[in-house]
Amino acid sequence: MVEMDKVLAFLEAKKRRDEYGPLQETITVKNVQLKDGTTIGEVTIDQDTPEQERETINELLQRDPVVQSSEFPETLLSEVINVYCDENTSLGNWTEKTATEVKATLLFFTRIVGDEVFSTLKHQKVNEYKVKLFKLPPNINKVKRYRDKTIDEIIKMDDVKPMV
């Protein structure tokens, strides 16, 4: 894996024409790992000036990582959860009780972030989940006054005491 810091250092050295020899026209870096852990298979930088190269790298760093899955191109998150739980139960990895508990937890995640197409999930959604989860009251599924409300409606209620 090539970390983004190494790519930036390479570009800076190339700009100064240090140990990398004469100026190259195209830079291709494979298996670039961003600081959030996302890996990009291949990046080609073909710019005329070092400023344009830095701009290209900055655009790359600003991009939201997306989980890509060829198995679930248009499948909703809830459907993936069902398949995942059914598979682990049928393989004997989980008991029915474990499957029910895991499924409830994952469906709660879906309730908070929305039932999106699985292959389009972004890192931002996981962060959104954490932020909202910490704002929610305990026993949200057991308390009658929360049952018919959306997560956002519950969070906006005045008398809600977060579980954390």
pLDDT in tens, 91-150: 999 998 999 999 999 999 999 998 988 888 888 888 888 999 999 998 888 888 888 889
Domain housing 105: 77-156
Q: How many helices (H) and strands (E) does the chain have?
A: 6, 3
> Domain check: are 54 and 82 in the same one?
no
> Domain check: are 82 and 150 in the same one?
yes
Query: Is 42 within a domain?
Result: yes
> Domain check: are 91 and 38 in the same one?
no
> Domain check: are 29 and 92 in the same one?
no
